[in-house]
Structure 1
C-alpha cells in the first residue's frame, strides 16, 4: 500500500478531504457488495496476486509536471499513488524535465516501488517529455534492457516525435518486453499523415521480435523464438475505425483484446480511444486474461459537483474541469491482466511418456 504516514503532518481539514477521497477510491477499485451503491468507474480491477496474475497499466499524466494550473497538490499526488498501487507495472507518458512531481509520487508509493525513465525528447515536437515505467519490486524484476527506438533507414520516412521506450521484465513464469509510446498528435484530423506513419513504422520495427527469426552466433545461423511484446501508451487514436487503429493492428502482428475494444474511450469524456494496450502475436507463458478496462477516477475524486467549490482559490482563471486535468490528467487509466503462472502445464509436460 502507499506510504500514508506523512498525512499526519497535514492540516486536519486537508487531511480529512484526502482520507475521504482515498477511501472512496479504494471502494471503487473493487466490485460493490449488494448493500453498497458506488459510481460506475468501469470494470473492477482484480486483486493483485503474487503468483497468479500481473496487472499492467498505462496512464498519460497530463504535463507531469509543467506547473500549469499550479504545482500538483498533495491531494493529487496521494490519489495518483493510490491508483498506481492497484497495479504491478505502469507505463507513464508526458513526464516533463522537472522530476520533482515524479519524486513526490514515488515517495507516496513507498520504498518498494522503483522506476526507469528516459531523458526528455528535445525539439518542438518532442515537447520536453520523457517516458517512465513505475514498478513494484516485490512482484516485478527489471530484465536489464532499456532502450529508445530510432527508425532505421530502410523504414524511415520520418523520425518519432517522442522517442518510444522499450524495456524487458521478469514476473513469475513470464519474460516479456514493454514498449511505451506517445505518438505524434499533429492536426485535429483523425488520420493525420505523420501520426499514421509513426504507428505503422513502430509496428514494422517491432514485429520481427514477435516471431521466429534468425540470428548470427559466431558465424552460425540460429533460429530463435519470438518474444512476448506489448505496445502500450498514448497512440492518439480518435476512433477504432480510423487508419491509426488499422496501422496498429494490420497484419495481425499486434492485437487489442476484445475487452479493451469494448471500452467507450480513455479520455475524460470517453469519446476518444487515445490509449491502447496491444499484445504481440507471440505469447509464450504470458497470456492476457479476459479482464481489462479503463478506470474513471473522477467518479471518486476531484468531482465536479462535490469538490469544485473548495478549489476555487487554487485554480485561478481555469475552469474546475480544466484545472483538475492538470492535477490528475485528461486521460483515464487503462489496464490489462496477464496470466503468469504456468506451473501445472510445465509439470504435466514433465511426466514420462509411456
Structure 2
C-alpha cells in the first residue's frame, strides 16, 4: 500500500497547501475505489472457489503501461499529485512493465518511495541511443513479497541475418533513374496477377513488387559508388608497382565489393529502435520470462513497414529462445508485453504479433476498446508463447484469469462527459495557459496517453501437484 505521509495536514500549512492536500487525498480515495471496483468487476460471474483463491492472493497481476515521457520537463514536468496517482495505480498490480521512462530517474524513484522502498523495487535498462530510441529506458517495477527477480536480465540484440529491414530488403536507387540493359527477348512481369489499385485515374502497385533480374542484366552504377577490395586481397604487380586498372581486373575482381552511395540505400539492416528488455522472474510456483518492448512507430508506408518488421522479427527471435528454454525447462514460460503500436485487431501488425507461436489471451482480445487514451487503438498488448506440442508435461502451466484496461481519466484529470461541471479543467487552467497547451493534451503529460493493461496469472499449483501425486500408481 502506498505511503502518503507527506499529505498529512500540518498546523503551519498555508491555506492553499491544505486545500491541495485535501483535494489530492480525495482524488486518491476516488482512484483507489475505482481500481478496486474495476478489478473486481473484471471477474464477472466466476465461481465462488475461484473468487476465494483470488482473495487468497494465489494469482499474480501482471500489467504493462507506457507512461508518456516519464519524466520530461516538457510543459513543466509532472505535478506531485500526478506521481501520487501513478503510484496508486501501480500499487494495484504485482509487476508492471513500464515504457518511455527517460534518462532522469528522479520521478520513478519518487514513485517507488511512495510505494514503499522496502516492499517495491525496479530493474531498468540504460537509455537507448539514437533519434528513434528517444533516450528511453525499459523498466520492470515489482512488489518484492509477490515476485522474485531470478538474476537474469538483458537486452535483445538481433543476429546479422535477422536485422530489421523494410519490406523491399537492401536496395539502392539512382535519383536520375536506373540505367538498365536487359538481355533481348526478356519479359520482366512475373506470371500471375499483379496486385494493383486505381487512384485518380492511375493504376498503382498495391504493395512492393519484387522481380528477379535475368542473367546478363547490366546496370550502370550511380555516381558516388565505390569499389572496395577487402584486406588480404592479392594484388597484381607490374614493374614493382601495384597495377589496379581495367586490364588487371581479372586478378582482383573475384574479391571486390561494390558500395553504392549510402544516401541511395534503403532497407539497411537495423537493430530495434528501442532495445527490448528481457528479465526472469518467479512468483509462487510460476517461473516466467518477461520481454517488454516499445516498437518503432514511424509514419507513412515505410514507417508502418518497419513497425511491422520489428514485431515480426521480435516474435521470431523470442520463439526460438522460448523453444530452447522449453526444451530444457518446460515450466519456464515466455511473455512479451508493452507498446507494440498495433493499429488494430484486424491489422497486419496484430497478425505479426500472433506469429511464431505467440498469442494474446482471449480475456484481452474480448475487450472492445483500445489501450490508448482515445480508446481506439490496440497499441499495448500482452502475449505469451505456447509450445507446439499439445498439453503440458510439467506441474505448472499458463492459466490466465481476469484481465482489463483501466481508464484513470474518468477519475483524475477528467474531461468532457467524465467532468460534467468542468471542475478538473478549471483547476488546472493556469497550468495549461502557462504552457499554451490544450488541457486534454496537457493531461497526457501528467499521466499518459496510454492506459495500463493487465492480466492475472495463477501462481499456486499445489493442489494440482498433490492431486497428481495421490493419483499416481
| TM-score of the two chains, using structure 1 as the length reference | 0.89
Q: Note the 1:83-98 alignment, pairs <5 A.
A: 83-98=89-104
* Range that drifts further, 60-69 or 81-90: 60-69
Residue in structure 1 matching 2:162, options 149, 155, 158: 155
Aligned: 1:347 with 2:466: yes
TM alignment of 1:169-318, pairs within 5 A: 169-187=281-299, 192-211=304-323, 225=330, 227-251=332-356, 253-263=357-367, 264-282=369-387, 285-304=396-415, 305-315=422-432, 316=434, 317-318=436-437
| C-alpha distance in 1 between matches for 2:94 and 2:427 | 33
For the structure 1 residues 297 and 352, does the alpha-carbon distance in structure 2 shift closer, same or farther, using more than 3 Å as the test? closer
**Residue 50 to residue 113, structure 1, CA distance change in 2 (3 Å):** farther
**Distance in 2, Cα, partners of 1:27 & 1:302:** 16
Change (3 A) 1:4 1:195: same
Greater fraction of residues in strand: 1
User: Normalised by the size of structure 2, how large is the TM-score?
Assistant: 0.68
**C-alpha deviations, 1:238-260, integer Å up to 9, x for none?**
11111111111024x11101121
Q: Are 1:328 and 2:433 counterparts?
A: no
Shift of 1:203: 0.5
Aligned partners of 1:329 and 1:81: how far apart in 2?
13
Task: Please give the alpha-carbon distance, in whole angstroms, between the structure 2 residues aligned to 1:341 and 1:41.
Answer: 20
Distance of aligned partners of 1:50 and 1:143 in 2 relative to their CA distance in 1, 3 Å threshold: farther
User: What's the CA shift for 1:16?
Assistant: 1.1
Relative to structure 1, the CA distance from residue 70 to residue 288 in structure 2 (aligned partners, 3 Å threshold; closer, same or farther) is farther
* Structure 1 counterpart SS, 2:104: coil
- 1:320 Cα deviation from its structure 2 partner: 0.8
Tell me how far apart the structure 1 counterparts of residues 361 and 471 of structure 2 sit (CA, whole Å).
36
Specify the SS of the correspondent of 2:470.
coil
Is the 1:131–1:180 Cα contact (8 Å) retained in structure 2? yes
- The whole-number CA distance in structure 2 between the counterparts of 1:324 and 1:214 is 44
d(CA) in 1 for partners of 2:41 and 2:76?
Answer: 30
Q: Which residue of 2 aligns with 1:119?
A: 126
Structure 2 counterpart of 1:37: none
Aligned length: 339
Aligned counterparts of 1:41 and 1:328: Cα–Cα separation in 2: 23
Paired residues of 1:63 and 1:95 also in contact (CA < 8 A): yes
Shift of 1:51: 4.4
Whole-Å Cα distance in 1 between the matches of residues 298 and 467 of structure 2?
A: 52
CA 1:312–1:168 in structure 2 vs 1: closer, same or farther (change >3 Å)?
same
- Measured after TM superposition, the shift of residue 290 of structure 1 is 3.6
Counterpart CA distance in 2 for 1:122 and 1:259 is: 36
Superposed displacement of residue 345, structure 1? 1.0
What is the deviation of 1:319? 0.9
Q: Distance in 2 between matches of 1:122 and 1:322?
A: 27
Shift in alpha-carbon separation, 1:65–1:211, aligned structure 2, 3 A: same
Deviation (angstroms), 1:227: 3.1
**What is the Cα deviation at residue 213 of structure 1?**
6.8
8 Å contact kept, 2:370–2:376? yes
RMSD of Structure 2 on Structure 1 (CA): 2.5
The gaps in structure 2 that reach 5 residues or longer are 45-50, 165-269, 416-421
Distance 1:336 1:348, change over 3 A: same
Inter-CA distance 79–12: structure 2 relative to 1 (3 Å threshold): same
For the Cα contact (< 8 Å) 2:401–2:458, is it kept in 1? Answer: no
Determine if contact 2:65/2:452 at 8 Å carries over to the other structure.
Answer: yes
Distance apart, 1:138 and its partner CA: 1.1
SS in 2 for 1:31: helix
> What per-residue deviation string (whole Å, max 9, x for no partner) do you get for residues 240-285 of structure 1?
111111111024x111011211221000110000000001114762
* Mapping 1:101-112, distance limit 5 Å: 101-111=107-117, 112=119
**What is the alpha-carbon distance in structure 1 between the residues aligned to residue 101 and residue 326 of structure 2?**
37
